[in-house]
């Protein structure tokens, strides 16, 4: 568990970064291993052998000069060496090799060469590697003088090692660039699909950028998503049409019934029947409201403040005690009529079941948070879920006076969900019910 969460923290978040990582890490590892093997095995061994050869030649020269240090002989040897072996030599009879501290030059070349000299020449020496001059100067102490040998660096080690390394880095960069380019193209349709799904979830239109494109699996997912969206739309419109039809059709016989009951005059049952008919009418109106909530209203850029002000001033005109506290920029993409219906349902509830209403609205990160408090009796917490079911009413005996249908909260929830938001109930510090709404911006 711990390891897994550690991995989750280390792993990059986006698909692009992850797929690049999957691609790049093995390549880098292989390159690193290759470079290591190349330098350690191949390049190292080669340099060893080159140094060995040069040291051997120097051993021969040193021995020859020691045997016969006459100037003619030395100039002959030096001529041969320069001509055939690229080594420049000179001899200073009577000179003494000044000992210098060991660790002045410990480059890898002088180390390898030093090892070879130790084995072959077996005399005190001094190496001077001058990388900029491309020459290596070696001074060897002979019995009666000092022998100076200059060797071109190409005789001692091959510079192809660095070129190899440069090529490795260069190809890695090319590979990275190419894969970023290709991967981004592969991932774009997935990102578009995600954006489309998010928008649909918030009840907005399908973005025009969603196309069935990309790799086969992505195309399948996009096609499935489009089909699913069509099916949901079809189902909703079927349901809406049926509900609207039923409600509408039932109204006519109900009106007739009302008329007939009215004609009964003061029949003992007439009053009860009339009450039932009125209840039925109210329910049908509720149905129609519910259905209208899902109508084809378009989401537009709007300001929640306008809606809030309209609702609150409406409630105040009707004699309600509503206190509104709204802060900051509340610009949102929303379906204004639906949103107004949802919020006014909640305010109506609060006014119906309580006497004071407090409403506070503010931006919290990427959401707009709406909190509605009242000082009424509230709802028992075990019924917080039930009250969102159509026609569910808490403790009907308490409600006979208030006479609702039980569609106010379900409609509100529908609207909030279709905006991609959440609605939850809680106990209010004011004593009654608290409704908390979060709508993503």
Ligand X SMILES: Nc1ncnc2c1ncn2[C@@H]1O[C@H](COP(=O)(O)OP(=O)(O)OP(=O)(O)O)[C@@H](O)[C@H]1O
Nearer Cβ to ligand X (129/347): 347
- Which helix (H) or strand (E) is 163 found in, with range? helix 160-201
Nearer Cβ to ligand X (222/425): 425
By rule CB under 6 A, what string of x and - marks binding of each residue 205-244 to ligand X? ----------------------------------------
Token duo for residue 322: 């509503």
Using CB under 6 A as the binding rule, whether residue 427 contacts ligand X is answered as: no
Nearer Cβ to ligand X (214/286): 286
Nearer Cβ to ligand X (274/405): 405
**Minimum CB distance to Mg ion, residue 413 (Å):** 12
Q: Which does 308 bind (CB under 5 to 8 A by kind): Mg ion, ligand X, none?
A: none
CA distance 428 to 431: 5
- Which helix (H) or strand (E) is 439 found in, with range? strand 433-440
Residue with tokens 């993503």: 440
**Minimum CB distance to ligand X, residue 411 (Å):** 8
Q: For residues 114 and 124, is the Cβ–Cβ distance under 8 A? A: no
Q: CB 311: neighbour CB atoms within 10 A? A: 22
Helix, coil or strand: residue 39: helix
**Minimum CB distance to Mg ion, residue 435 (Å):** 11
CA distance 414 to 422: 10
- Which helix (H) or strand (E) is 140 found in, with range? strand 135-141
Nearer Cβ to ligand X (145/408): 408
Strand ranges inside 279-421, DSSP E: 300-303, 321-326, 331-334, 356-364, 367-374
Say how many CA atoms lie within 13 Å of 436 toward its Cβ: 9
Using CB under 6 A as the binding rule, whether residue 376 contacts ligand X is answered as: yes
Using CB under 6 A as the binding rule, whether residue 377 contacts ligand X is answered as: yes
Q: Which does 432 bind (CB under 5 to 8 A by kind): Mg ion, ligand X, none?
A: ligand X
Using CB under 6 A as the binding rule, whether residue 416 contacts ligand X is answered as: no
Query: Which ranges constitute the DSSP H helices of 354-430?
Result: 396-399, 408-418
Say how many CA atoms lie within 13 Å of 186 toward its Cβ: 14
Using CB under 5 A as the binding rule, whether residue 344 contacts Mg ion is answered as: no
Binders in 407-436 for Mg ion, by CB under 5 A: 408
Binders in 346-375 for Mg ion, by CB under 5 A: 349
**Minimum CB distance to Mg ion, residue 320 (Å):** 14
CA distance 145 to 91: 7
Q: For residues 147 and 62, is the Cβ–Cβ distance under 8 A? A: yes
* Contact residue for ligand X among 110, 151, 349, 418 (CB under 6 A): 349
CA distance 304 to 434: 20
Nearer Cβ to ligand X (170/391): 391
* Contact residue for ligand X among 350, 368, 423, 438 (CB under 6 A): 350
Q: Does residue 378 come out as left (phi exceeding 0), alpha (psi in the -120 to 50 range) or beta?
A: left
Cα-only R_g, the chain:
45
Using CB under 6 A as the binding rule, whether residue 370 contacts ligand X is answered as: no
Binders in 14-33 for ligand X, by CB under 6 A: none
Q: For residues 410 and 429, is the Cβ–Cβ distance under 8 A? A: no
Q: For residues 176 and 168, is the Cβ–Cβ distance under 8 A? A: no
* Contact residue for ligand X among 406, 430, 431, 436 (CB under 6 A): 406
Pairing of β 321-326 and β 422-427: unpaired
Using CB under 5 A as the binding rule, whether residue 47 contacts Mg ion is answered as: no
Q: For residues 203 and 296, is the Cβ–Cβ distance under 8 A? A: no
By rule CB under 6 A, what string of x and - marks binding of each residue 308-347 to ligand X? -------------------------------------x--
Q: Which does 406 bind (CB under 5 to 8 A by kind): Mg ion, ligand X, none?
A: ligand X
* Contact residue for ligand X among 57, 340, 374, 375 (CB under 6 A): 374
* Contact residue for ligand X among 65, 87, 407, 416 (CB under 6 A): 407
Nearer Cβ to ligand X (149/407): 407
> What are the residues binding Mg ion (CB under 5 A)?
349, 404, 408
> What are the residues binding ligand X (CB under 6 A)?
286, 345, 349-350, 353-354, 374, 376-379, 387, 393-394, 399, 404-410, 432-433
């Amino acid at each position: 568990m711990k390891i897994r969460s550690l991995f989750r923290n280390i792993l990059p978040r986006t698909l692009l970064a992850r797929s690049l990582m999957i691609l790049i890490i093995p390549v880098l590892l292989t390159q690193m291993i290759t470079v290591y093997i190349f330098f350690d095995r191949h390049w190292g061994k080669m340099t060893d052998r080159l140094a060995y050869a040069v040291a051997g030649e120097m051993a021969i020269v040193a021995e020859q000069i020691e045997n016969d240090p006459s100037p003619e002989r030395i100039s002959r040897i030096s001529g041969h060496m320069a001509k055939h072996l690229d080594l420049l030599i000179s001899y200073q009879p009577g000179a003494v090799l000044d000992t210098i501290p060991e660790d002045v030059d410990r480059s890898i070349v002088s180390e390898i060469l030093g090892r070879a000299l130790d084995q072959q020449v077996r005399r005190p020496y001094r190496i001077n590697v001058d990388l900029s001059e491309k020459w290596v100067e070696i001074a060897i102490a002979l019995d009666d003088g000092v022998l100076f040998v200059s060797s071109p660096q190409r005789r001692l080690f091959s510079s192809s090692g660095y070129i190899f390394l440069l090529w490795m880095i260069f190809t890695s960069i090319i590979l990275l660039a190419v894969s970023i380019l290709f991967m981004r193209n592969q991932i774009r349709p997935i990102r578009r699909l995600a954006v489309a799904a998010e928008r649909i979830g918030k009840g907005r239109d399908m973005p025009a950028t969603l196309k069935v494109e990309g790799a086969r699996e992505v195309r399948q997912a996009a096609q499935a998503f489009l089909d699913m969206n069509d099916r949901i739309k079809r189902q909703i419109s079927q349901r809406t049409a049926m509900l609207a039809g039923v409600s509408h059709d039932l109204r006519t016989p109900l009106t007739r019934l009302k008329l007939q009951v009215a004609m009964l005059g003061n029949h003992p049952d007439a009053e009860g029947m009339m009450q039932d008919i009125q209840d039925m009418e109210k329910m049908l109106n509720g149905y129609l409201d519910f259905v209208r909530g899902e109508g084809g209203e378009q989401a537009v850029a709007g300001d929640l403040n306008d809606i809030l002000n309209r609702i609150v001033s409406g409630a105040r005109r009707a004699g309600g005690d509503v206190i509104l506290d709204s802060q900051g920029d509340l610009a949102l993409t929303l379906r204004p009529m639906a949103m107004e219906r949802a919020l006014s349902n909640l305010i109506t509830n609060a006014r119906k079941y309580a006497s004071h209403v407090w409403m506070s609205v503010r931006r919290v990160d990427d959401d707009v948070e709406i909190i509605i408090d009242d000082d009424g009796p509230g709802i028992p917490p075990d019924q917080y879920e039930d009250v969102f079911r159509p026609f569910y009413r808490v403790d009907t005996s308490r409600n006979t006076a208030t006479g609702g249908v039980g569609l106010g909260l379900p409609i509100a929830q529908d609207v909030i969900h279709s905006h991609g938001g959440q609605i939850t109930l809680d106990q209010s510090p004011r004593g009654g019910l608290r409704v908390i709404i979060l709508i993503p911006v």
